[in-house]
């Protein structure tokens, strides 16, 4: 008899914390729907108190999901708990994820609290949270570097104070499998009350051991594993959903655990997430990488042709990967476009559909074959729909051997137009300088990445930029068959999000001011 484990997905919280992975509310909602369809049990939708976008995303997701538990993160602070409660009030199955750091390093340098004070905080905040929530998960942050006796005390106190799920995170990805497994077994022995609640683990991949540690924890009695799709997350990422699901499936002979995840939906889900975040997976990534089912050496090819199992432990179809994904073209009509959306479980409003289809036909006119990746990027642009802000009206770039690269741009912000020209080290440099001049701004370019989306010489280029403005970092993405245009779009998106951020802060300050006047 297999034990049905709980899959807690934190793609939208821990995953979204990866540099470059931030998503709009609409994009997060889309991913949440995909994850629900995939069959994960719990979705951590965000950290409501941390920003208005996070709050709205958690609220929107909680309102939309039909069968999945939606969790919001909170520190041991009443303001955090209040925000999570407000964000989740419309949800069918709300859950609070409350955490505090417990390791000596975190206690001393981050919290400046001793053991007793940490315990007090846990009791006080769990009590406070219980007035809103029935289902509360408590996490002892940096548990794997916490003294075992203190961790046991923390866990016992959290259970006595009403936590229904106890999560043991390897926050910094420091544990190794045998050690982590032993610590889970020891904890279960030391705290018999754990039998009345669910025991969870949350492993990071700094040493590439997140999956191995999670499996070791399951073998030692864990009931829940926290994961992210594509393994995205802080630093080197989290235990990846697809690796966990497929390991349990492929090694069912050894591992007596099952999940509710429909593995055949994994690959389209991964593609959607890659398209939305722009975090494209390396070719050799387990399960999802482009090379995961490619056999190069002659001996391997020969073996696979004779009998696939000689070199394949799973089939592409097991994860919903179609080898012959049909490319679309200018003759593909609305019907086949709709079919394609269905394949990726994409739901659009009629208005969004028309917009996406118009962009698709436009692209199909420019390139011979339109690949799934292209379509996902179009959908992403339609859904992403960052606030418009400053728009590109016109650009011209001149470059060549023994020439000084020069760029001219015309931008529009509401009814005003800005025109500027500049030279640079290369066409992109000249273009960015011209944009800076037109908008009279100063930014520092931290990162610039160009990636081909799809295949062939006419593939679209996706450009991602990371800029620093007034000490803060902003991201932007642009997509076009012309990489110079994609660069301009990406740069403007980053600039627009910087402007939006400043506007929000000002708005908040104004509100606070007016509030203090009223309170006054
Ligand atoms: Zn984490």
pLDDT class of 226 with cuts at 50, 70, 90? very high
Q: How far is the CA of 74 from the centre of ligand 1 (A)?
A: 13
> Hey, what's the torsion of the CAs at 129, 134, 135, 139, to 10 degrees?
30
Using the predicted structure, report yes or no on whether residue 408 has a pLDDT greater than 90.
yes
How far apart are alpha carbons 11 and 495 in whole angstroms? 26
pTM (predicted TM-score): 0.81
Q: How far is the CA of 94 from the centre of ligand 1 (A)?
A: 20
Q: How far is the CA of 16 from the centre of ligand 1 (A)?
A: 11
Q: How far is the CA of 214 from the centre of ligand 1 (A)?
A: 13
How far apart are alpha carbons 429 and 419 in whole angstroms? 17
DSSP symbols for 442-501: --EEEEEEEEEESSSTTPEEEEEEEEEETTEEEEEEEEESSHHHHHHHHHHHHHHHHHHH
Residue with tokens 């020069």, as numbered in its chain? 406
Give me 393's structure tokens. 């009206």
Angle ∠(510,24,460) on CA atoms, nearest 5: 135
How far apart are alpha carbons 97 and 502 in whole angstroms? 30
Q: How far is the CA of 253 from the centre of ligand 1 (A)?
A: 30
Using the predicted structure, report yes or no on whether residue 362 has a pLDDT greater than 80.
yes
Convert 141-163 to b/e letters by CB count within 10 Å (16 or more is b): bbbbbbeeebbbbbbbbbbebbb
For 372-389, the pLDDT digits (tens) are 878 888 887 787 655 568
In sequence order, the 6+-apart residues with CB closer than 8 A to the CB of 22 are: 16, 475
> Hey, what's the torsion of the CAs at 23, 27, 29, 32, to 10 degrees?
-80
Give me 442's structure tokens. 């100063």
Q: How far is the CA of 202 from the centre of ligand 1 (A)?
A: 7
For 431-444, the pLDDT digits (tens) are 999 999 998 888 89
Q: How far is the CA of 14 from the centre of ligand 1 (A)?
A: 5
Q: How far is the CA of 13 from the centre of ligand 1 (A)?
A: 9
> Hey, what's the torsion of the CAs at 74, 33, 251, 305, to 10 degrees?
-140
Burial of 297 (0-12, 13-18, 19+ CB in 10 A): exposed
For 443-496, the pLDDT digits (tens) are 899 889 898 877 777 788 889 888 888 887 788 888 888 999 999 999 998 888
* Strands 257-258 and 390-398, bridge-based pairing: unpaired
Q: How far is the CA of 445 from the centre of ligand 1 (A)?
A: 28
Q: How far is the CA of 203 from the centre of ligand 1 (A)?
A: 7
Neighbours of 342 (CB within 10 A): 10
Q: How far is the CA of 169 from the centre of ligand 1 (A)?
A: 7
Convert 259-296 to b/e letters by CB count within 10 Å (16 or more is b): bebebebbbbbbbbbbbbbbbbbeeebebbeeebbebe
In sequence order, the 6+-apart residues with CB closer than 8 A to the CB of 368 are: 329, 456, 458
Q: What is the mean pLDDT of the chain?
A: 90
Q: How far is the CA of 154 from the centre of ligand 1 (A)?
A: 19
Q: How far is the CA of 191 from the centre of ligand 1 (A)?
A: 24
299 φ/ψ angles, rounded to the nearest 5 degrees: -65, -45
pLDDT class of 509 with cuts at 50, 70, 90? low
At 239 the pLDDT is 98
How far apart are alpha carbons 7 and 200 in whole angstroms? 9
Q: How far is the CA of 177 from the centre of ligand 1 (A)?
A: 17
Q: How far is the CA of 289 from the centre of ligand 1 (A)?
A: 23
Residue with tokens 């075992």, as numbered in its chain? 148
For 66-95, the pLDDT digits (tens) are 999 999 999 999 999 999 999 999 999 999
Burial of 356 (0-12, 13-18, 19+ CB in 10 A): buried
At 383 the pLDDT is 77
Using the predicted structure, report yes or no on whether residue 103 has a pLDDT greater than 90.
yes
How far apart are alpha carbons 200 and 27 in whole angstroms? 28
Q: How far is the CA of 46 from the centre of ligand 1 (A)?
A: 12
Q: How far is the CA of 488 from the centre of ligand 1 (A)?
A: 34
* Strands 444-453 and 460-469, bridge-based pairing: antiparallel
**Choice among 97-101, 150-154, 172-176, 296-300 with the minimum mean pLDDT:** 296-300
Long-range contacts of 278-286 (CB under 8 A, 24+ apart): 278/20, 278/451, 278/462, 278/464, 278/477, 279/18, 279/20, 279/21, 279/230, 279/232, 280/451, 281/230, 285/230, 285/231, 286/240, 286/242, 286/243
What is the mean pLDDT of the segment spanning 245-267?
97
Q: How far is the CA of 228 from the centre of ligand 1 (A)?
A: 10
Neighbours of 83 (CB within 10 A): 21
Q: How far is the CA of 76 from the centre of ligand 1 (A)?
A: 17
Nearest to 384 by CA among 115, 55, 31: 31
Q: How far is the CA of 234 from the centre of ligand 1 (A)?
A: 7
Q: How far is the CA of 49 from the centre of ligand 1 (A)?
A: 17
* Residue ranges with strand state E in 42-155: 42-46, 69-75, 94-101, 136-141
Q: How far is the CA of 51 from the centre of ligand 1 (A)?
A: 18
Q: How far is the CA of 100 from the centre of ligand 1 (A)?
A: 13
At 398 the pLDDT is 95
Q: How far is the CA of 398 from the centre of ligand 1 (A)?
A: 46
How far apart are alpha carbons 431 and 434 in whole angstroms? 5
Q: How far is the CA of 296 from the centre of ligand 1 (A)?
A: 36
3-state secondary structure of 280: coil
DSSP symbols for 142-183: TGGGS-HHHHHHHHHHHHHTT-SEEEEEETTS---HHHHHHH
How far apart are alpha carbons 447 and 439 in whole angstroms? 20
At 517 the pLDDT is 35
Within its chain, how far is the Cα of 137 from the centroid? Answer: 21
Q: How far is the CA of 428 from the centre of ligand 1 (A)?
A: 36
Ligand 1 ion: nearby residues, β-carbon < 5 Å: 14
At 516 the pLDDT is 36
Q: How far is the CA of 25 from the centre of ligand 1 (A)?
A: 21
Q: How far is the CA of 383 from the centre of ligand 1 (A)?
A: 27
């Amino acid at each position: 008899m297999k034990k049905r484990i709980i899959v807690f997905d934190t793609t939208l919280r821990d995953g979204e914390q990866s540099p470059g992975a931030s998503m709009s509310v609409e994009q997060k909602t889309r991913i949440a729907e995909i994850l629900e369809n995939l069959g994960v049990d719990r979705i951590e939708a965000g950290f409501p108190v941390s920003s208005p976008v996070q709050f709205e995303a958690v609220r929107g997701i909680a309102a939309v999901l039909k069968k999945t538990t939606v969790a919001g993160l909170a520190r041991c602070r009443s303001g955090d708990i209040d925000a999570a409660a407000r964000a989740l009030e419309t949800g069918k199955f709300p859950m609070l994820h409350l955490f505090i750091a417990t390791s000596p390093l975190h206690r001393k340098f981050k919290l400046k609290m001793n053991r007793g004070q940490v315990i007090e905080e846990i009791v006080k905040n769990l009590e406070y949270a219980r007035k809103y929530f029935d289902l509360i998960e408590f996490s002892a942050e940096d548990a794997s570097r916490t003294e075992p006796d203190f961790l046991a005390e923390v866990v016992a106190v959290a259970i006595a104070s009403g936590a229904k799920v106890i999560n043991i995170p390897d926050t910094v990805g420091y544990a190794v499998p045998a050690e982590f497994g032993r610590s889970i077994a020891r904890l279960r022995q030391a705290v018999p009350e754990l039998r009345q609640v669910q025991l969870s683990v949350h492993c990071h991949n700094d040493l590439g051991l997140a999956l191995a540690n999670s499996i070791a924890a399951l073998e030692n009695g864990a009931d829940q594993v926290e994961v992210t799709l594509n393994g995205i997350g802080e630093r080197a990422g989290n235990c990846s959903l697809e690796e966990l699901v497929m390991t349990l499936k492929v090694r069912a002979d050894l591992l007596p655990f099952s999940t509710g995840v429909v593995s055949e939906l994994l690959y389209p889900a991964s593609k959607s997430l890659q398209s939305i975040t722009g975090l494209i997976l390396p070719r050799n990534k387990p399960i999802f990488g482009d090379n995961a089912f490619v056999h190069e050496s002659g001996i391997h090819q020969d073996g696979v042709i004779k009998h696939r199992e000689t070199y394949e432990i799973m089939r592409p179809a097991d994860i919903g990967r179609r080898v012959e994904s049909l490319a679309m073209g200018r003759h593909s009509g609305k019907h086949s476009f709709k079919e394609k959306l269905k394949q990726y479980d994409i739901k659009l409003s009629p208005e969004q559909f028309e917009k996406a289809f118009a962009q698709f036909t436009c692209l199909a006119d420019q390139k011979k074959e339109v690949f799934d990746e292209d379509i996902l990027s179009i959908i992403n642009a339609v859904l992403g729909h960052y606030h418009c802000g400053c728009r590109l009206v016109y650009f011209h770039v001149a470059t060549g051997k023994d020439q000084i690269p020069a760029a001219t741009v015309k931008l529009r912000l509401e009814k005003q137009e800005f025109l500027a020209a500049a030279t640079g080290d290369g066409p992109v440099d000249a273009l960015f300088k011209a944009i800076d001049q037109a908008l009279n701004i100063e930014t520092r370019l931290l990162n610039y990445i160009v990636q081909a989306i799809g295949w062939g010489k006419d593939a679209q280029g996706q450009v991602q930029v990371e800029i620093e403005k007034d000490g803060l970092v902003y991201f932007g993405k642009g997509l076009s068959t012309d990489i110079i245009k994609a660069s301009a779009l990406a740069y403007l998106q980053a600039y627009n999000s910087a402007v939006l951020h400043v506007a929000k802060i000002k708005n908040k300050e104004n509100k606070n001011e007016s509030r203090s006047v009223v309170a006054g």
